[in-house]
Amino acid sequence: MPTIDAFLAALTLEPVGEDRYRAGNLPSAHGVVFGGQLLAQSIIAGLAGQEGKAVKTLHTVFARGASHDAPLDISVERMHAGRSVASSTVTISQGDQICTRSLVLLSAVEDDVIRHADTRRSTAGPDDVADHIRGEEAWELGIIGDVDIIDPELVGPPELDVWVRFAGAPEDPAIDQALVSYSTDGFLIGTAMRPHKGVGQAQAHVTLSTGVLSHTLTFHEPCPAGQWHLLEQRATYAGHGRSYGRGEIFRADGQLAASFVQDAMIRARSGSAGKL
């Protein structure tokens, strides 16, 4: 797992022209850039030069994977810049190939007219998963119930609740949003596999081809990444080689802080007999 310094280095975008940047990658055991990194870098790029606003919604379409051993080129096209909202597109490429394109909606804080929010379903707090905390460096996570979405023989409902935090994260709202977005990318495919005996994330890129197709994240409240957040996730549909899931992010104080949805691919790898 990368250190917090490695995360911050990947989120440091080098200007190479007007609204154009170059960025490095986090280490990868599989040679492919993790999608959460691309979400995080898209947030940082979308926020560049937009003082007084935070990301409200990020909608990202994944066109193809990126190699971790080559830099990324990031371009921003500003669509609108108003007093309370702004929007832009962020495109991440490698060589002459587009990897992702995102629509980024920014918003300033405004006063309430009405207010309500969902409450979390789980009563387990971060202390309740202390014996199951994973992650030796910055990104720490604890799965409630110690559920295993890797093993294809272990089945359960298409739900997964995970406490996450980034130890040592600086107090920076942009970094907070970027790191929280990183944490939302990696669980929903395995959650969709969970009810199906013989199918698990251990088969990804072996007998199954899996990958995120689109990801949408909306922030409601500040999300300090160095503090614990609960990701309550449920895969509501799987079929036709696709899966769909959604999640809500709660702060430790119970406040709903963000929501996300994801479309993904889960299909038999060419030439294999992967069970779907």
28 Cβ neighbours under 8 A, 6+ residues apart: 34, 68
Contact 108, 53 (CB under 8 A): yes
- Choose among 146, 219, 225: nearest CA to 183: 225
Q: Which domains does the chain have, with CATH numbers?
A: 1-108 (3.10.129.10), 125-276 (3.10.129.10)
How far, in Å, CA of 217 to CA of 220, rounded? 10
- Structure tokens belonging to residue 69: 């051993």
Contact 233, 245 (CB under 8 A): yes
- Structure tokens belonging to residue 125: 């707090």
How far, in Å, CA of 28 to CA of 48, rounded? 26
Which stretches of the chain score pLDDT less than 70?
Answer: 131-132, 135-136, 271-276
At residue 205, the pLDDT reads 78
Contact 180, 225 (CB under 8 A): yes
User: Counting every residue, how long is the chain?
Assistant: 276
- Choose among 37, 47, 58: nearest CA to 215: 58
The Cα-based distances of 58 to 97, 100, 103, 126, 254 in angstroms read 21, 12, 6, 27, 23
